[in-house]
Amino acid sequence: MCGIFGVIGHKDAARLTYLGLYALQHRGEESAGIVTFDGKNVTQHKGLGLVGDVFDERIIRSLHGDLAVGHVRYSTTGSSLAKNIQPFLVKHKKSHIAVAHNGNFTNTVKLHAALEEKGSIFQTSMDSEIIVHLLAKAEDKSYKNRVIEVLSQLEGAYSFVLMLNDTLVGARDPFGWRPLCIGRLDGAYVLSSETCGLDLIQAKYV
């Protein structure tokens, strides 16, 4: 079980994500991370420990942009190492991709082998990294179609939030085994593993 959170369209996206992760702390106490995008540059901060220990006021102010994704981790696969802290962030061609993932894939071994056959090199022991590699391999120019292509290959119980440059995407498995809810706040959209993440920032559940 992990906690995931995302915000788009709010000038204080990093602070809202910090508060959302704080509300979701019960979903993971091993590590916390936030990635933001300001339209040009990506900023991130991640660390082992509780949300309140990983982030302080100075760090939150350094995370610029109106788009943010965040994650708190309780490990089910992969060891508790710094390289396994989410969100995962990669640059592929002209795209910045950040993913915060909750759950497990039941076809990890199959996907891992197929991706390595095509030249993918995995940097972590997390099955979450598969999402990034599948997105990188998807050829459609449309973000929507690329995500749909990725989802068609995943099996298991999962939810995740993605930052694709200036776009925020949320998805969960077809049966909804891993929760993900949507909220609105001052015209911004918010994604959270649980409604408690929305409640703390006074976002309206939709």
Token pair 């002209």: residue: 94
Distance CA 13, CA 91 (A): 21
194 in Cβ contact with 179 (< 8 Å): yes
> Which amino acid, residue 19?
L
Coil, helix or strand at residue 69 = strand
CA angle at 189 for the pair 127 and 34, rounded to the nearest 5°: 45
DSSP label at residue 203: P
Structure tokens belonging to residue 149: 């292509």
**What are the C-alpha distances in Å from 85 to residues 72, 121, 150?**
9, 18, 22
**CA dihedral of residues 93, 84, 152, 105 (deg, nearest 10):** 160
**What are the C-alpha distances in Å from 136 to residues 35, 58, 90, 92?**
19, 33, 10, 7
User: Which is catalytic among the residues 2, 85, 99, 198?
Assistant: 2
Residue 196: active-site member: no
Token pair 């068609």: residue: 152
Catalytic residue numbers? Answer: 2
